[in-house]
């Protein structure tokens, strides 16, 4: 499993972005996201190749990762 942080959620498109520990952006579908997860949360996930490219699946909360990644990638700063 990979580790990352939810850095973007676009409700109108039903999609979001996870930034993994290697600074790679991985898209995910909101339909597959646990309702208790949100922007800035640390997650564990698998990657699957889809028609839209690499997509995060089997996304689950990862306690402790939010604080670790928030120091590295502050939520209030614009996403690069």
Domains of the chain: 2-72 (2.40.50.140)
pTM: 0.74
pLDDT for residue 31: 86
Total length of the chain = 80
CB atoms within 10 A of CB 18: 25
- Comparing CA positions, the residue from 49, 48, 51, 41 lying closest to residue 19 is 41
pLDDT at 76 over 60: no
10-56 pLDDT, tens per residue?
989 989 999 999 999 999 998 877 777 889 899 999 999 988 889 99
Contacts of residue 22, Cβ cutoff 8 Å, sequence gap at least 6: none
DSSP 3-state of 69: helix
Q: How confident is the model at residue 79 (pLDDT cuts 50, 70, 90)?
A: very low
Contact 69, 44 (CB under 8 A): no
């Amino acid at each position: 499993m990979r580790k990352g942080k939810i850095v973007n959620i676009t409700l109108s498109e039903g999609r979001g972005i996870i930034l993994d520990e290697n600074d790679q952006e991985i898209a995910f579908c909101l339909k597959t996201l646990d309702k208790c997860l949100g922007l800035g949360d640390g997650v564990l996930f698998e990657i699957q190749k889809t028609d839209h490219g690499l997509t995060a699946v089997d996304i689950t909360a990862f306690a402790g990762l939010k604080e670790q990644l928030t120091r590295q990638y502050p939520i209030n700063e614009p996403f690069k």
